[in-house]
Structure 1
Amino acid sequence: MNTQPEQLKHLGFFAIFKESYKIIVSKWRYIFSKIFLALIFPFCLLMLADMLISSHLQGRIIDNSINLDEMDSNNRYYNPMKREVALHSTLLGVFTLLYFLVGLLVLNLFAITAVSYAVACVYASKDTNFKQVIRVVPKAWKKLVLTYLWNLFLQLVFVAVFVALVVLCLVIGIRAKQIVLAIVIGVIVVILFIVGMIYFNVMWGMASVVSVLEECRGPRAFKRSGELMKGKKKLNIGVYMVFLVLLVVIQGGYWVLAGLFNSSLPIVVYVIVAIVFFLLLLGLVMLGLVVQTVLYLVCKSYHNESIDKASLGDQLDSYLSSYGRLGGAKDVQLGEV
C-alpha cells in the first residue's frame, strides 16, 4: 500500500474500496483476522440469530392474536392462547434487549473501535498487535458509547417528528376533505424521512470513527463529522448506499430463508444457503468498518488536516498511556505500509 497523504484526498469511489481491501489483506491481516474472529464473527452470528428468533416469535404472536380476535372468550383455548401471546411477547422483548445490549452496544461498538484503531495504526506505521488493540478498545469504547446514544436520541426525535407530521397531514386532510392532497403531502414527508435517516446514518459512520481517533464524543463528534464531510458528502452517501443495498439484500434473503425454515425445504439446502448469507454478511461488515476509517482519513486529507505518522501516532499513544505503554511516534511523512 503506497498511498501518500496528498493522494488520499483524491481517492474516488472505487479507489476507497480498493484501498480498504488492500489494508485487510496487507501484512497487518493477522490483526484484522483476529478482530474478525473475536468481535465481528460473534456480532454477525448474534444478528442473524436475533433475526431468526424474532421472525419466529413475531409469526407466533401474529397468528395467535388473529385467532384470539376470532375466538370467543369462553372458549377453553382462549386463556392458554392469551398466555402464550404474553409469553412470546415477553421473550421477544428480552431477546431484543439482549441484542441491543450485547450485540449493538458491546460487540458492534467494540468492533468499530478495534477496526478504527487498527486502520489508524496501519497509516501511522505503528507497531501493534491484537492484544494491544484489545487493551485500547475499552477506553475508546467509552467515548463511542456516548456518540452512539446521542445518535439514537437524534433518530428517536426525528422519528417522533415524522410520526407527528404524518398524523397531522391525515387529520387536516380528513377535516378539510382533501384526502388526496393529504396523501401527497404524506408521501413527500415519507421521502424526506428516508433521506433524513440515510443522512443520520452517514453522519453516524463518520462520527463513530471521530469518537475513536479524536477527542470528540456525542454532539461534538457529530458536529466534527459534519465539518469533515463538507465537499465529500456525495462520496460518503454513495458509499453508504452501496453497503445499505447489499445489507438489505443479505438480510432480506436470510429473512425469506428463515420464513421457509418450517417448509418442505430440505434441511441441507437451508443450512448451505444460511452459511452463504452468513459469510456474505461477515465480509460486508468487515469491509464496511475499514471503509469507514478510510473515508475519515480521505476527508481529513481533503481539508488539508495533518495525518502524518507523528500526529496520528500521538493520538494512538494517548490510549496506551493509561497502561504505561506510551510509544514513540515517528516524525516522518505517511509512506508505505
Structure 2
Amino acid sequence: MARGQDNIQFLGFFGLLKEAFDITTSYRKIFSQITLFLILPICFCYFAEINKLNFFSRHEMFSIISDVLSLLIVPLIPSLILLIFSTSAAVHTVACIYTTKEEVTYKKVMKAVPKVWKRLLITFILNFVIFFAISVGAVLVTVLWGVTLTPTPTAIMVAVVLLIYLSGLVYLSFVCYLANVVSVLEDLYGFEAMLKSKYLIKGNTGLCAAIFVIQNLCFLGIHLGFKVTAMGEVSLWGMISGVLLWSMLMSLLILCGLVVQTIIYFICKSYHRENIYVELESLDDQLLQSTV
C-alpha cells in the first residue's frame, strides 16, 4: 500500500528516524530478506577479511604483500555486486512503499533491480575515484606544505589540513550517498547524479550532515567493538561467533542507512517542490512487469 507523502518535507531529525523505524518494522519481511541475502554476506566478508589481515600481519613481511593483495582482490568483485544490488533493492523498496499500491515483495523488487544497476555502478565508481583523489590530495598538500614551509609538518599544519579535509569529506560523503539514491530512482548517473544530489540537499544540509555523522559514529563503534571482542587471542569459535554477531549489527546499520537516505531523498524532493511521482511512475510498471 502506498505511503502518504503530504507532510514528508516537514520531517525533522527525530521524525525522520521514526519514519525509517516505522517503514522497516511495517515491511520487515522484505527488508529481512534484503538484509539476509544481500547485506549480511558483505558484512561477513568485511569482518572476515579484517581477521585475515590481522593474522597475516603477524607473519614475515615478504609474504604479507601477496597475501593482502589476494585477500582484497578476490572478494572485491562479489562484494561490489552485492553492494550494488543491496543498495538498489533497499532504495527501490522504500520508493515502492511510498508510491505503488501493489504489494511489494522481494521477488518483484529483485526482478526490477537489473534495470538500474548499471547507473548505480557508474556512480559508485565515480564516488570511489573522488574519495581516492581527495585522500591522496590531502596527503600531498600536507607533505608539500611541510617541505616548502618547514622542515617537518607541525601539529597546527596537520590540524588545519585535517579539519579542511574532514569538513569537505563529510559534505562530499552525503552528496555521494544521496547520488546513489538518485541513480536508482532517476535516469541519472555519474556527475549528473552528483550535481542533482548537490542541488537536492540545499536547505537540508544540516539534517544530512547529522544523519551522516551519527551513522559513521555507529559504524566506528561496531568496528571498534569487533576489534575488542573478536580479534586477538580468541578461540576459533569465538572468532566465528564474533564475526557473525558484528556482521548482523553492521547489516542492520547499513539497512537503516539505506532506508534513511531514501527518505531524505523524498524530503529533499518535497522541499524543492519537485513532483516525486514524475520519476517514480515507472516503479509501478516495473513491479507489474516483474509479475509476468
Give me the TM-score of the superposition, normalised by structure 2. 0.90
Residue 220 of structure 1 is matched in structure 2 by 192
Name the SS of the counterpart of 1:136 in structure 2: helix
Sequence identity, in percent? 29
Q: What is the distance in 2 between the residues matched to 1:120 and 1:149?
A: 23
Residue 114 of structure 1 is matched in structure 2 by 89
Counterpart check, 1:96 vs 2:95? no
Give the structure with higher Rg (CA).
1
Equivalent residues in 2 for 1:171-320 (5 A)?
A: 171-174=147-150, 182-260=154-232, 263=233, 265=234, 273-308=242-277, 311=278, 313-317=280-284, 319=286
Name the SS of the counterpart of 2:100 in structure 1: coil
Deviation at 1:146, TM superposition (A): 0.3
Q: CA contact under 8 A between 2:2 and 2:98: conserved in structure 1?
A: no
Deviation at 1:317, TM superposition (A): 4.4
Residue 37 of structure 1 is matched in structure 2 by 36
Question: How many equivalent residue pairs?
Answer: 290
Name the amino acid aligned to 1:203: V
Residues 126-150 of structure 1 show CA distances to partners (whole Å, capped at 9, x for unaligned) of: 4232222111222211100000111
Counterpart check, 1:9 vs 2:1? no
Deviation at 1:266, TM superposition (A): 6.1
Deviation at 1:285, TM superposition (A): 1.3
Greater shift in the superposed pair: 10-19 or 192-201: 192-201
Q: List alignment gaps of at least 5 residues for structure 1.
A: 66-84, 328-337
Deviation at 1:189, TM superposition (A): 0.7
Name the amino acid aligned to 2:259: V
Q: CA contact under 8 A between 2:138 and 2:161: conserved in structure 1?
A: yes
Counterpart check, 1:146 vs 2:122? yes
Name the SS of the counterpart of 1:59 in structure 2: coil
Deviation at 1:192, TM superposition (A): 1.0
Residue 334 of structure 1 is matched in structure 2 by none
Give me the TM-score of the superposition, normalised by structure 1. 0.79
Residues 149-184 of structure 1 show CA distances to partners (whole Å, capped at 9, x for unaligned) of: 111111122122212211111102335xxx57x542
Q: CA contact under 8 A between 2:9 and 2:267: conserved in structure 1?
A: yes
Name the SS of the counterpart of 1:6 in structure 2: coil
Q: What is the distance in 1 between the residues matched to 2:21 and 2:281?
A: 26
Q: List alignment gaps of at least 5 residues for structure 2.
A: none
Name the SS of the counterpart of 2:274 in structure 1: coil
